[in-house]
Structure 1
Amino acid sequence: MTTTPAAKVERWQRFRTNRDNALATPHGWLTLTSFQWLEDSPGAVDLSPGLWSTDGSGTTAFLTAAASDGLTLVETGEKVDGTVSAVLADEESLMWVQFGGPDGDQVVVELAMRGGRYAIRTRDAASPVFTGFDGVPTYPYNPGWEVTGRFEPYPAPVDVPIGTANPLVDGVHRSVGEVVFRLPGSAHEFRLQAEEEKLGALTVTFHDETNGDTTGDWRKLALSRPRHDGSVVLDFNRAINYPSAFTPYGTCPMPVKNNSLDIRVEAGEKQPYPS
């Protein structure tokens, strides 16, 4: 019987603590309470005062409100009394205005540009999903799910069209290469297309046979920058859910078509709300 090195368990536990703390931040993913597209003409929306719209070309978003609506700009605290506007590039977001609660910041309204259209998301610090959160359920730590693979970069990045958690929003996966590895219980190699993050780190988004059973519809795993020989470490104990596993208001990217593992990866985060 092998003994798990205490240092590895401690590092994983520290990772889990940091992960749960990050999810539990005020106005984070657990506080989302709506996702609404903006129309060309000013109109009311759910869960927020004011009249919201875009211009005819969809390049600028507008908010019109009276001082009595209680809206203030998040960045400056200035009251919204009249019309304010904002311009975002695709995939950008802005924590734009806030209102409610004793300090006037219980609800933050996020402006987002998704698929060439403006939308808003309300983030309410009184959401029961947020106030009742006590951590994400996970599989127990298992050192057997930490494996070494290799990264095979493409000559140039390839943009692959993908779906997202919102059926009305299309996404793009910028594949920079493939991570090749083996897993316990499987006799063949796996290949997952990877995206590049800051400083050369990688992310792989994947399906596996636990999806829809003990885990959500898909998960992702962060990898450190490949070593000089191309080797990479995949620790599936650190596989995590996308925000869309916690809220129906996410627009999180799905895995590319071939990023599916035909085994049960019983490691990492489970479904946040098991039935």
Structure 2
Amino acid sequence: MTANDTAAETFVQDWQDWHQRHEAVRADEHGFLAVTGLYWLTSEPQRVPGAPGEWSTGVEGVAVTLDAGEELVVDGRVVRDRYVFGVIPERGGINAVWGDAVIEVAKRGGNDIVRPRHPDHPLRVKYAGTPVFAPDPRWVVTGHYVPFDHPRPTTVGAAVEGLEHIYHAPGRIEFELDGQALSLTAFAGGSPGSLTVLFTDLTSGVTTYADNRVLKLGAPASDASLVLDFNRAVNLPCAYTDYATCPLPPAENRLPIAIEAGEKIPYERA
């Protein structure tokens, strides 16, 4: 076996290990595949299917009034009667445990919502994995990070019609692929210095999910370089369930080439 053969095997194995971990997170018993509904709260108390009590929101934030004999576990503490979750920040959330279910209380697009998550939801129970393109090193490119002078407030649409998200974009990533100079506006990632890009391309709506895919990136190096591995482009929850409020890519992130890498349209949407 040559050094090139060994490198190719290592590349594929690393991708397979990564994607197996990613699928395990997606299929978690309280992951997005377990969500049974999306409910928008108002000042009028309402029953939420798949959750106990009556739910509302107001100046004090989200509150629930539980019936006699009902209880939730919030931050390890059993709560009964009326419980106030308080004002939840945008893109924040609290998970309340109810038996083997989790009741997610969150804020998206300025709206307070409740999403029950039940492990026995058929979407999760029947989940058989997501189809993917075969990993290929040609889709691994080195880009250059160009920070903005100040983070730019960027308004994007959402999977839910009429909803908008506002993100602060710290910069853009410039790269070349198939002989074309391209760039992507980046949002902050989940860890310090890391970045996230939402994008569509010419495969969107054909072999990949129409609305969006996401690529998570590490922090740029000291010379502002960073690696984009499109083999690790994945679907957001809205590709599987109508109960997600996922953001859409900014207009400038619609790539004019076909990125035949990463995850394809889920079987659930085919």
> Secondary structure of the equivalent of 1:67?
coil
For structure 1, which runs of at least 5 residues remain unmatched after alignment?
Answer: 99-103
The reply on whether 1:85 has 2:84 as its aligned counterpart is: yes
> Secondary structure of the equivalent of 1:182?
strand
Find the aligned partners of 1:209 and 1:176 in 2 and give their Cα distance: 26
Q: How does 1:24-173 map to 2 (within 5 A)?
A: 24-55=27-58, 57=59, 59-68=60-69, 70-76=70-76, 78=78, 80=80, 82-87=81-86, 88-98=88-98, 104-105=99-100, 107-173=101-167
What corresponds to 1:236 in structure 2? 230
What corresponds to 2:188 in structure 1? 196
Asked if structure 2 preserves the Cα contact closer than 8 Å seen for 1:67 and 1:79, the reply is: no
**1:159-211 CA-partner distances (Å, limit 9, x unpaired):** 11111112242101221111111113xx3201100112223121111011111
Find the aligned partners of 1:168 and 1:37 in 2 and give their Cα distance: 13
Question: How well do the aligned residues superpose, as a CA RMSD in angstroms?
Answer: 1.7
TM-score with structure 2 length normalisation? 0.91
> Secondary structure of the equivalent of 1:191?
strand
**1:121-166 CA-partner distances (Å, limit 9, x unpaired):** 1111111111112322110011111111211111111111111112
The reply on whether 1:14 has 2:17 as its aligned counterpart is: yes
Asked if structure 2 preserves the Cα contact closer than 8 Å seen for 1:28 and 1:123, the reply is: yes
> Secondary structure of the equivalent of 1:109?
strand
The residue type equivalent to 1:37 in the other structure is: W
**1:27-81 CA-partner distances (Å, limit 9, x unpaired):** 11110111111121222222323111123x3x4111111233x43224335252x
Q: How does 1:251-266 map to 2 (within 5 A)?
A: 251-266=245-260
Q: How does 1:214-253 map to 2 (within 5 A)?
A: 214-216=207-209, 217-253=211-247
The residue type equivalent to 2:145 in the other structure is: F
> Secondary structure of the equivalent of 2:15?
helix
What corresponds to 1:101 in structure 2? none
Asked if structure 2 preserves the Cα contact closer than 8 Å seen for 1:173 and 1:256, the reply is: no
> Secondary structure of the equivalent of 2:75?
coil
Asked if structure 2 preserves the Cα contact closer than 8 Å seen for 1:177 and 1:194, the reply is: yes
Shift of 1:95: 0.6
Cα distance change of structure 1 residues 160 and 79 upon mapping to structure 2, 3 Å threshold: closer
Asked if structure 2 preserves the Cα contact closer than 8 Å seen for 1:95 and 1:110, the reply is: yes
> Secondary structure of the equivalent of 2:171?
strand
Identity of aligned residues (%): 35
Q: Find runs of 4+ consecutive structure 1 residues off by over 4 angstroms.
A: none
Find the aligned partners of 1:214 and 1:77 in 2 and give their Cα distance: 46
For structure 2, which runs of at least 5 residues remain unmatched after alignment?
Answer: none
Which of 197, 210, 224 is residue 203 of structure 2 equivalent to?
A: 210
What corresponds to 2:266 in structure 1? 272
